[in-house]
Structure formats: C-alpha cells, structure tokens
Chain A
Amino acid sequence: GDSVTQMEGPVTLSEEAFLTINCTYTATGYPSLFWYVQYPGEGLQLLLKATKADDKGSNKGFEATYRKETTSFHLEKGSVQVSDSAVYFCALSDGSSNTGKLIFGQGTTLQVKP
C-alpha cells in the first residue's frame, strides 16, 4: 500500500541555519503531497502542498518540490528561526481513491537553538 518515509529526528539546528527534512513516498495513482507542522499541544497546520509532479509548494519561507522520478518531497528552508521548532509531518493523499484520507510519515522533530 501507499506509504511515506521521513528522515529520523530529532534535528537540532542553530538559528539561521539551512534546513532539509527528507521525505520519500510509495504510491499508486497520482497522489497529492503535503507538509504539516504540529506545535506542542496543538493540532496539525497545513504548511504547504503540491498536487502534481514538478509542482513546488511554498509558504513562510519553506519550500518542497514534488519529484516523481525520485518519489521525494523534501522540505527546505534557507534560514530557520527558534519559532520554527516543532514536529513536521510529510503526508500524501490516497491517490487511488482520491478522498479525504491522508497517509503520514512518522514525523520529524526540529529544535532550533538561538
């Protein structure tokens, strides 16, 4: 079945460092890809999305490109801030059924130190 694999965490960076969180997927059909962020004690917030191959999603300085040839959707940010500390989840929609079902990776905890 469809699945998402994220790099293991936690990831610890200094403020203003470059961030990459790797995400690869296995899917049938034509899934859409998402990054969600979860702050302590809160639900998930949609960070960015891409709906087809070569699409680039971007928001709040974060970017990710839907790479069909490498089945990847890596999250990047050029300069992280302490406020970016959170858990990040890569997810794909169920491409075979095209409904409101998301399959998530295991999450990557990011800690940014001043």
Chain B
Amino acid sequence: KAGVTQTPRYLIKTRGQQVTLSCSPISGHRSVSWYQQTPGQGLQFLFEYFSETQRNKGNFPGRFSGRQFSNSRSEMNVSTLELGDSALYLCASSLVIGLAGRETYEQYFGPGTRLTVT
C-alpha cells in the first residue's frame, strides 16, 4: 500500500498570507490527524477528522482550520500567517485495531510539509 502523502513538501509564505496543505491518507484509513512540530514546542496536536467530521481539536487559534473529503483526503488551512507558524506540519492516518470501545489508533505519518513564514 502507498503511504501517507503530503503536498507540497516545502512552502515559503509571507506574514499575513494564507496557506493550504494537503494530505492523502493510506487507502482505507478514515481518520486523519494533523500535528505541528517546532523546535520549541515539539509535536502538538492540531485536529483530527473522521468520516468528514472534526472529532478533536487541539489548543490552536481559529486561524488554523481543516476539512476532510469523502475520499478521506484532508486539507488544513492557516490564515493570516504569523512568523511563529513556521514549522513542520505532519499528517497521520490511522489504522483502527481492536474491539469497539477499546480501539487503538495506530497512526502512520507522512513526510510533512515544511512551512517557512517570512
């Protein structure tokens, strides 16, 4: 099976602009999660989508948003970019294993999109 793909791999934007990042999950995975990775804050959860619905959201401002399409592909959008948004943005799709009520979400990550805001 093909792995998780993210596009673009690298992006340079200026402050105040907006950006859209794309993620294609592993075939058959319905859950897609997004994370921000920075040297100072480490890996932080942004949000999770499952069957086109946002199911979980991390502690990020409303400038960060996302969506999921019927084929499970997901996009995240950041509006009014700030210098502090420079980061590696990682997408992960989940293989759900185990019995209902005790599922484990085994997450598989893409290579990330490196966003630089100048």
Contact = CB atoms under 8 A, between A and B. Distances in A.
Interface of A: 30, 32, 34, 36, 42-46, 49, 51, 89, 93-94, 97-107
A43 B111 contact: yes
26 contacts: A30-B102, A32-B105, A42-B111, A42-B112, A43-B90, A44-B109, A46-B108, A49-B104, A89-B43, A93-B104, A94-B56, A98-B102, A98-B103, A99-B48, A99-B50, A99-B105, A100-B31, A100-B48, A100-B56, A101-B48, A101-B56, A101-B58, A102-B33, A102-B45, A104-B42, A107-B43
Contacts of B111: 42-43
Contact of B105 (A45, A100, A104): A100
B110 interface: yes
A97 B56 CA distance: 9
A46 B43 CA distance: 15
B107 interface: yes
A99 B55 contact: yes
A72 B108 CA distance: 23
Interface residues of B, number: 29
B110 A43 contact: yes
Main secondary structure of the interface of B (DSSP, over half): strand
B62 to A, nearest CB: 19
Contacts of A51: 98, 102, 104
B52 to A, nearest CB: 14
A44 B90 CA distance: 9
Central interface residue in A34, A49, A98, by most chain B CB within 10 Å:
A98
Contacts of A46: 106-109
Interface string B2-43: 001000000000000000000000000001110100000011
Nearest to A45: B109
A46 B108 CA distance: 7
A106 B41 CA distance: 8
Interface in B91-118: 92, 94, 98, 101-112
A42 to B, nearest CB: 6
